[in-house]
Amino acid sequence: MPLHTASFYDPQDWVGQPFRISRGHPRGRRVQWDTLPFFYPERELVRAYRGGEIDFEDYTPIYLDSLERRYASSEPMRQWMHEDSPKLEDVTLLCFERFDAPCHRRLLAGWLTGKCPELQLGWIR
């Protein structure tokens, strides 16, 4: 199954089933996606990044480590990864950042394809 990434603000880039992987969603926009809360970055991590306490280079290993911890303990996460998502034709992971900004959705896409050989990277935006 191809796995794509895109911004909420670029629906022309969405392919297949869109899933929100951020804690929030754009205000004033009609919800057009499902949610995957087990992939949300931790609140403290988002606050530190947005507040300038850490940069994206520091953010990356912290987020990836949190995914590993959740993978070990979250049955819903493992079920979506290994049972539910392979049944979908295409999936797009959504968050706020525009195409040219560093973003956790790209980190997640790489992590997912490393854990699930049945997932293939599609358009990474």
**Structural domain count of the chain:** 1
**Structure tokens given for 55:** 């940069």
The whole model's pTM is what? 0.93
Q: What string of pLDDT tens digits covers the 125 residues of the chain?
A: 899 999 999 999 999 999 999 998 888 777 889 999 999 999 999 999 999 999 999 999 999 999 999 999 999 999 999 998 888 889 999 999 988 889 999 999 999 999 998 889 999 98
Residue 79 lies in a domain: yes
Provide the domain limits for residue 60. Answer: 1-30+41-94
Residue 3 lies in a domain: yes
